[in-house]
Amino acid sequence: MLYSEIVMDHFRNPRNVGEIENPDGVGEVGNAKCGDIMKIYLRIEDDVIIDVRFKTFGCASAIASSSMATEMIKGKSVQEAAELTNKAVAQALDGLPPVKMHCSVLAEEAITKALNDYLGKKGRPLLPERNQNQLAHDHGNR
Protein backbone atom coordinates (compact mmCIF):
# COMPACT_ATOMS: atom_id res chain seq x y z
CA MET A 1 0.00 0.00 0.00
CA LEU A 2 1.42 3.35 -1.03
CA TYR A 3 1.12 6.37 1.23
CA SER A 4 1.89 9.96 0.32
CA GLU A 5 4.92 11.70 1.80
CA ILE A 6 2.55 13.86 3.89
CA VAL A 7 0.86 10.77 5.38
CA MET A 8 4.24 9.27 6.21
CA ASP A 9 5.46 12.54 7.76
CA HIS A 10 2.36 12.82 10.00
CA PHE A 11 2.70 9.13 10.92
CA ARG A 12 6.40 9.32 11.74
CA ASN A 13 6.22 12.79 13.34
CA PRO A 14 2.65 13.20 14.56
CA ARG A 15 1.65 16.67 15.75
CA ASN A 16 -0.38 17.37 18.90
CA VAL A 17 -0.04 13.91 20.47
CA GLY A 18 -1.14 13.55 24.08
CA GLU A 19 -3.88 14.57 26.45
CA ILE A 20 -5.13 17.87 27.82
CA GLU A 21 -5.72 18.01 31.55
CA ASN A 22 -9.29 19.14 32.33
CA PRO A 23 -10.25 19.55 28.65
CA ASP A 24 -13.21 21.63 27.55
CA GLY A 25 -14.27 18.87 25.17
CA VAL A 26 -13.40 15.22 24.55
CA GLY A 27 -14.49 12.95 21.73
CA GLU A 28 -13.71 9.27 21.38
CA VAL A 29 -14.62 7.03 18.46
CA GLY A 30 -13.64 3.62 17.21
CA ASN A 31 -14.04 1.34 14.24
CA ALA A 32 -14.97 -2.22 15.18
CA LYS A 33 -13.88 -3.60 11.80
CA CYS A 34 -10.26 -2.44 11.95
CA GLY A 35 -9.82 -1.80 15.68
CA ASP A 36 -8.76 1.86 15.33
CA ILE A 37 -9.56 4.05 18.34
CA MET A 38 -9.22 7.84 18.27
CA LYS A 39 -9.61 10.30 21.15
CA ILE A 40 -9.51 14.09 20.66
CA TYR A 41 -9.09 16.63 23.51
CA LEU A 42 -9.96 20.31 23.10
CA ARG A 43 -9.04 23.46 25.03
CA ILE A 44 -11.39 26.26 24.01
CA GLU A 45 -11.36 29.92 25.03
CA ASP A 46 -13.84 32.50 23.71
CA ASP A 47 -15.15 29.86 21.29
CA VAL A 48 -11.69 29.41 19.73
CA ILE A 49 -9.72 26.15 19.90
CA ILE A 50 -6.47 27.20 21.53
CA ASP A 51 -5.12 23.67 22.00
CA VAL A 52 -5.99 20.25 20.65
CA ARG A 53 -4.40 16.89 21.40
CA PHE A 54 -5.07 13.33 20.34
CA LYS A 55 -4.38 9.76 21.30
CA THR A 56 -4.91 7.19 18.56
CA PHE A 57 -4.50 3.45 18.54
CA GLY A 58 -4.37 2.41 14.92
CA CYS A 59 -2.58 2.21 11.61
CA ALA A 60 -0.44 4.82 9.88
CA SER A 61 -3.51 6.35 8.18
CA ALA A 62 -5.36 6.69 11.49
CA ILE A 63 -2.43 8.40 13.19
CA ALA A 64 -1.77 10.67 10.20
CA SER A 65 -5.48 11.58 9.96
CA SER A 66 -5.58 12.44 13.66
CA SER A 67 -2.42 14.53 13.40
CA MET A 68 -3.57 16.42 10.30
CA ALA A 69 -7.10 17.01 11.64
CA THR A 70 -5.75 18.53 14.85
CA GLU A 71 -3.48 20.83 12.85
CA MET A 72 -6.44 21.90 10.72
CA ILE A 73 -8.66 22.94 13.66
CA LYS A 74 -6.08 24.49 15.99
CA GLY A 75 -6.71 28.24 16.23
CA LYS A 76 -10.11 27.92 14.53
CA SER A 77 -13.48 28.88 15.95
CA VAL A 78 -15.84 26.15 17.10
CA GLN A 79 -17.98 26.87 14.03
CA GLU A 80 -15.01 26.62 11.65
CA ALA A 81 -13.89 23.35 13.26
CA ALA A 82 -17.42 21.98 12.93
CA GLU A 83 -17.15 22.39 9.16
CA LEU A 84 -14.09 20.12 8.85
CA THR A 85 -14.85 17.09 6.68
CA ASN A 86 -13.11 13.78 6.28
CA LYS A 87 -12.61 14.67 2.61
CA ALA A 88 -10.70 17.83 3.62
CA VAL A 89 -8.48 15.80 5.96
CA ALA A 90 -7.75 13.24 3.24
CA GLN A 91 -7.00 15.99 0.71
CA ALA A 92 -4.65 17.74 3.15
CA LEU A 93 -2.80 14.41 3.47
CA ASP A 94 -2.45 14.29 -0.33
CA GLY A 95 -4.90 11.41 -0.42
CA LEU A 96 -5.47 8.15 1.39
CA PRO A 97 -5.82 4.70 -0.15
CA PRO A 98 -9.54 3.93 -0.65
CA VAL A 99 -9.43 1.15 1.96
CA LYS A 100 -8.08 3.68 4.48
CA MET A 101 -10.60 6.51 3.97
CA HIS A 102 -12.41 5.37 7.11
CA CYS A 103 -9.47 6.78 9.09
CA SER A 104 -10.27 10.32 7.97
CA VAL A 105 -13.93 9.61 8.82
CA LEU A 106 -12.87 8.72 12.38
CA ALA A 107 -11.07 12.07 12.67
CA GLU A 108 -14.19 13.97 11.59
CA GLU A 109 -16.35 11.95 13.99
CA ALA A 110 -13.98 12.42 16.96
CA ILE A 111 -13.82 16.19 16.42
CA THR A 112 -17.61 16.42 16.19
CA LYS A 113 -17.97 14.43 19.42
CA ALA A 114 -15.41 16.63 21.19
CA LEU A 115 -17.16 19.79 19.98
CA ASN A 116 -20.50 18.39 21.12
CA ASP A 117 -19.04 17.59 24.53
CA TYR A 118 -17.98 21.24 24.79
CA LEU A 119 -21.29 22.60 23.47
CA GLY A 120 -23.29 20.33 25.77
CA LYS A 121 -21.37 21.55 28.82
CA LYS A 122 -22.24 25.11 27.76
CA GLY A 123 -25.92 24.24 27.26
CA ARG A 124 -25.69 25.09 23.57
CA PRO A 125 -27.25 23.21 20.65
CA LEU A 126 -25.28 20.18 19.54
CA LEU A 127 -23.92 19.52 16.07
CA PRO A 128 -25.50 16.67 14.12
CA GLU A 129 -23.42 13.52 14.39
CA ARG A 130 -23.21 11.24 11.40
CA ASN A 131 -21.97 7.70 11.66
CA GLN A 132 -19.17 6.24 9.55
CA ASN A 133 -21.52 4.69 7.00
CA GLN A 134 -23.25 8.04 6.41
CA LEU A 135 -19.94 9.86 6.07
CA ALA A 136 -18.49 7.28 3.72
CA HIS A 137 -21.66 7.34 1.64
CA ASP A 138 -21.91 11.13 1.63
CA HIS A 139 -18.34 11.51 0.41
CA GLY A 140 -18.30 8.50 -1.89
CA ASN A 141 -15.41 6.96 0.02
CA ARG A 142 -16.59 3.44 0.64
The residues carrying an active-site annotation are: 34, 103
* Amino acid at position 6, single letter: I
Q: Tell me the three state secondary structure of residue 51.
A: strand
Candidates 61, 65, 52; CA nearest to 17 is 52
Burial of residue 31 (number of CB atoms within 10 Å: 0-12, 13-18, 19+): middle
Q: What share of the chain is helix, strand, coil (3-state, %, to 5)?
A: 45, 20, 35
Residue 134: how many CB atoms within 10 A of its CB? 12
